[in-house]
Each structure stands twice: as C-alpha cells, then as structure tokens.
Amino acid sequence: MSTLPPLRALQVFEAVGRCGGVAEAAKRLGISAGAVSQQIKLLEDTLGMSLMQKDGKRLRLTTIGRRYHESCAAAFESLRVAHAEMERAKNVRNLSVSALPSLLSKWLAPRVMAWQTQHPELSVYLDGTHTEPSPEGYEIDFRVSYGERIVEAENAIELFRDSVVPVCSPAWLSDKAPLAEPADLLPHPLIAVDWLPKFTSPPSWRDWFEANGVDCGALHNPRHVYSLSSVAIQAAIDGHGFALAQSSMICDDVAAGRLVVPFKLGLPLPWPYFLTWKKSAFDQPQCRSFHRWLLTRAREQQQINDAMLQ
C-alpha cells in the first residue's frame, strides 16, 4: 500500500504553485521562506524527483511539478469545498442570494430587507455581481440574472420582463416648459445605458423615440452613458437630465417622489429576468419560503411593468 507524502508538505507546495513563488507563499501561509523551502525539499525527497528549479533568483515549477501541482490544487479545492459545506451545515439559518448589481440595489435588496423583518432569525447574504455562480457551487442558494443564456439552466423560472420609461427628477421640470408629447424630450440631456459586451443592452433612446413616432433627425448621441442602470438612475435623481430606466428599478424612487415619469410609454427589454437555484436549495425551509415570496413579488412587478406598456 503506497504512502502519501506529508500533508503539510503538499499544502505548502500547493501554495507555492498558486502564489507563483516561495516568498509570496510564505507570506500567505504565515511562515518563513526557509520553512517553505524545507517543506518543498521534504516533498521532493519523498517523491524522489525535483518539482522546482532555479530561474535566475527565483524558483519555478518543473514540467512534472506543474502537472503534479494541478492534481494537488484540485484536491485541496475539493477539501475547501467540503469544509465550506460543513460550515454551512452548522448554520442552516443562512440564505445567500446573488443578483446583477443594479437589480440588486434598486429592486431586490429593499424587498429582501422587508422579507427579513418577518424572519429575524435569518442571516441573509446578498451578492451583487455580473459573474454567474458555478452550477456546482456551494456558496449561493439563489441567483437572479437576465438574458437568453439562463433559459437552459436546469433549475430556473422566469421572474418578470421589464420595460424602460423616461424619468427625471421633479426639480428638473420645475423651471422648464411643460412636456406635452414624447418629442418634447429631444432638447433635454439624455442619459443612456449600455450593457455591452456582458448583455444585450436595453432599448436605447432612439428605439424609444421611434416606437413613439418621433422623428430622430434632431437626436444627438447621449453625452452621459453608463454601464450600470443604477448609476444612470442616480444621475437622473441628481438632476442631470432624463434617463431611460427600467420600471422595476424606479418604483421606489417614483413612490418616494425622487423621480417622475412624464410619459408612461414603456418599451420592453428583449429578455426577462430569471431566478435559478442550486439543486439542494429546497432542502432548507428558509429557501422554500424565500422562493415562494420572491415569485409573489415578481408577479406584482410584472403587473406594474404591464401597466407601463398600455
């Protein structure tokens, strides 16, 4: 029966390969560079071959060392995943939700806070990111995303299809001529959103004007263009002009009087928002409760979005 090399030596070797050198690995591990070198030598003596070689003043992995490191790294990642699962099992009252940054800040987070008041015993983690969690990941229970690529997800359900409408701050219109028709927006500063290359962008100002029968010959390219919808909305709140904003993301600001909608003429986005979840999510009662609650909020939001299209 073969004997594995010392676990500590393998751990140090994995860190050296991951960090790209002895000095950085020593810093990450909280030990001296000499201690790292000793562990590497112990591992090489145990294996009977060299895993590292000198490259100037630095040590680098040999060809066989790189292959061996790949296997070691995969093994330690499996151990880290297993440990994280054990940590989560000790506290089943946690809930982790990932969502696109703007949707999280302008729609999901305020509503989750309201849900959490009904479940004060829960600790909720909200992660705003464009990066999709790994299907085999262990850290995220639910993910709210957008677009056609989510349609094929194994565990997925459509939440709602959003639409965009023009908005501005009440102060912006206070000293200006009344707006009678969509063409009256043409002379005003227009704030745009561009999601490319991550996603297909929402309808543009040109799309909105053309949909409402406005001649775009006098339309100039927007001077303010943002990759995050939430930042474009904040620019409108701050009085920098009109933003073409998603109805889901402006509901709270309109209700609070921070924004006004001069024309309730919505233009739908090309794709809906989806909710996906990991396979084991419904093993926990808080996940089942959150799933039911979020679908109810999504149906309510869809009704609001549909009203904007009429």
Which pLDDT tens digit goes with each residue over 106-123?
Answer: 999 999 999 999 888 888
Distance from the Cα of residue 281 to its chain's centroid:
19
pLDDT at 135: 61
- List, for residues 61-80, the tens digit of each pLDDT value: 889 989 999 999 999 888 88
285 HSE (CA, 13 A, CB side): 5
Q: Where are the domains of the chain?
A: 7-89, 91-161+271-308, 163-267
Q: Look up residue 201 and give its two tokens.
A: 């962008």
Phi, psi of 202 (to 5 degrees): -70, 170
Q: Which CATH class is domain 7-89?
A: mainly alpha
pLDDT in tens, 11-46: 999 998 888 888 888 888 999 989 988 999 999 999
CA distance 111 to 116: 9
More confident call, 300 vs 93: 300
pLDDT computed for residue 77 by the predictor: 87
SS (H, E, C) 82-130: HHHHHHHHHCCCEEEEEECHHHHHHHHHHHHHHHHHCCCCCEEEEEECC
Cβ-based neighbours of 255, under 8 Å, separated by 6 or more:
none
DSSP state of 48: T
User: 91-161+271-308: what CATH class?
Assistant: alpha beta
So what CATH class is 163-267? alpha beta
The confidence score (pLDDT) of residue 1 equals 39
- Which of the pair, 210 or 136, is modelled with greater confidence? 210
7-89 against 91-161+271-308: fold identical? no
Lowest mean pLDDT among 98-102, 137-141, 166-170: 137-141
| Type of residue at 247 | S
